Amino acid sequence: MLKLIKVINFINGEYLEPINKNYIDNYNPASGEVYSKIANSDKNDVDLAYISAKNALPEWSNKTIQERAEYLYKIADILESRIDEFAEAESYDQGKPISLAKSMDITRSIHNFRFFAGAILHHEETSSNFNKNFLNYTSRKPLGVVGLISPWNLPLYLLTWKIAPAIACGNTVICKPSEFTSMTAFMLGDVLIKANLPKGVCNIIMGTGSNVGNEIVSHPKIPAISFTGGTKTGQTIASITAPHFKKLSLELGGKNPNIIFNDANLDDCINTTIRSSFLNQGEICLCGSRIFVQENIYDEFLERFIKATENLIVGDPKNVDTNIGAIVSEQHLNKIKSYIDIAEKEKCEILYGGDKPNLNKQFEKGYFIKPTIIKSNNNKCRLMQEEIFGPVVTITKFKEENDVIEMANDIDYGLSATIWTENLSRAHRISELLDCGTVWVNNWMTRDLKVPFGGTKNSGIGREGGKHSIDFYTEIKNICIKY
């Protein structure tokens, strides 16, 4: 029998098997077959990683900003030289189309390192002499050994969104990728070796959330956690860290409105709405999964949107023409299907999709589902209130501006929103009224890494990006001097 690749830990600059020698199966979502083994690490591996990160901290935090930035640039360059290899691995491990893994995931991972190298080099502190006898100025220190936990939808993209600013600020880190998608985090270890990153600065531990994740979060000497994942997990982490006053950044779930007014540029809107509904199989926290369309253009929008959805190619992630690949896991596919199954009960109508696409035999056991459009008139129903996190959108007609604002805000989530209108006053007015962290007007998911990123309500606490990440990954101190 073929020996399966073992995805093992990266501690103190070396690849190490988990101390308990336990492994979990790793599946290829397109074939449904086990193709590698992931270390099922536990407390002992986290403790080892902590010692390594703690020992590396004094030297790393004392390096000049220029020196640390140079390492980040080097990591970016090496990653870039291996972009095809990483894109192939990400697509194979996660199920997403290879073209997307290359153009979005790995490209953005490279950019994360370059961006935060630049951000730290260009960062300036503040000073104030409000009273001529006194000078106030700020200084920053890294936090120490920081815990970084990431989800499965954008595996390397979101992990490096945390690693890059954390180490740029002089921290050392213990990372945990999702147990469903650990492959590119495992490969990153080799890039860090080639970049000569000092041993122990970045440690990567593979394993489950209840085991490794929980150990990192509850570790008494880890003062800060940056977590991206589900809202329920975020609640658990908040309850564990609160009594220790750990610094916490939580980027959680979303159920974002996409509001389309009568005066929208429908060509642009439909092209972008196809992406904001189904990109990455709809497994992006920012997807606009609740579509609201104003009544005068509802019929035209629907007809054109369904047509455009029919044209999407669902299937082999390795095919460069594929638009929608496989869902990450069988468990997640079942969750998506369970929502489609309740459509009738919720008096919603499936307008397109809802079933498995016809694919070659090799994908028979793969986790595929067609992009699905569901008509709903009830903003309170589960399909419109709960995060499905798959290629499933609801579509709802609205009459007046006030009605749609009320529906858009009447939800526990508050991550992002999209508005389509050519009316500038309306765009500004509604952007202010929507209760969420980001509003896109006539575009979607255009990311400038400087801007604050995060959510309100159950979508999380804190902001990351540019100076907001520097704020999170450092402790700021004010010093007041009397002349």
Q: Which residues are catalytic?
A: 251, 285
CB of 64 to ligand NAD, least distance (A): 31
Is residue 35 packed enough to be buried (19+ CB in 10 Å), middle (13-18) or exposed (0-12)?
Answer: middle
Only one residue has tokens 């010692």, namely 51
Give the integer Cα–Cα distance in Å for 111 and 164.
Answer: 10
Q: Which of 253, 215, 206, 204 is nearest to 237 (CA)?
A: 215
Q: Which of 38, 119, 168, 217 binds ligand NAD (CB under 6 A)?
A: 217
Q: Which of 202, 252, 373, 439 binds ligand NAD (CB under 6 A)?
A: 252
Residue 444 structure tokens: 């979607």
CA dihedral 196, 201, 142, 215 (to 10 degrees): 160
Q: Which of 45, 93, 387, 471 binds ligand NAD (CB under 6 A)?
A: 387
First to last CA, the chain: 77
Q: Any contact of residue 206 with ligand NAD (CB under 6 A)?
A: no
Helices and strands in the chain: count of H runs, count of E runs: 16, 23
CB of 296 to ligand NAD, least distance (A): 33
3-state secondary structure of 447: coil
Q: Are 465 and 450 in contact (CB under 8 A)?
A: yes
Give the integer Cα–Cα distance in Å for 347 and 356.
Answer: 22
Interface segment toward ligand NAD; rule CB under 6 A; list 83-91, 186-194, 229-237, 271-279: 229-237
Give the integer Cα–Cα distance in Å for 176 and 38.
Answer: 12
Angle at alpha carbon of residue 350, lines to 346 and 354, rounded to 5°: 110
Size of the site for ligand NAD (CB under 6 A): 31
Q: Which of 460, 462, 465, 466 binds ligand NAD (CB under 6 A)?
A: 460
Q: Any contact of residue 462 with ligand NAD (CB under 6 A)?
A: no
CB of 460 to ligand NAD, least distance (A): 6
Q: Any contact of residue 210 with ligand NAD (CB under 6 A)?
A: yes
Site pattern 132..161 for ligand NAD (x: CB under 6 A): -----------------xxxxx----x---
Question: What Rg, from alpha-carbon coordinates, does the chain have?
Answer: 23
Interface segment toward ligand NAD; rule CB under 6 A; list 74-82, 122-130, 211-219, 426-434: 211-219
Q: Any contact of residue 45 with ligand NAD (CB under 6 A)?
A: no
Of 204 and 264, the one with the shorter C-beta distance to ligand NAD is 204
Q: Any contact of residue 183 with ligand NAD (CB under 6 A)?
A: no
Half-sphere exposure of 295 (CA within 13 A, CB side): 6
CA dihedral 250, 255, 256, 259 (to 10 degrees): -160
CB of 152 to ligand NAD, least distance (A): 4
Of 270 and 449, the one with the shorter C-beta distance to ligand NAD is 449
Site pattern 271..300 for ligand NAD (x: CB under 6 A): --------------x---------------
Q: Which of 55, 236, 262, 409 binds ligand NAD (CB under 6 A)?
A: 236
Q: Are 477 and 140 in contact (CB under 8 A)?
A: yes
Of 161 and 261, the one with the shorter C-beta distance to ligand NAD is 161
Give the integer Cα–Cα distance in Å for 313 and 310.
Answer: 8
Q: Which of 95, 200, 213, 288 binds ligand NAD (CB under 6 A)?
A: 213
Q: Which residue type sits at 306? A: I
Question: What residue ranges bind ligand NAD (CB under 6 A)?
Answer: 149-153, 158, 176, 178-179, 208-210, 213-214, 217, 228-230, 233, 236-237, 251-254, 285, 387, 389, 415, 455, 460
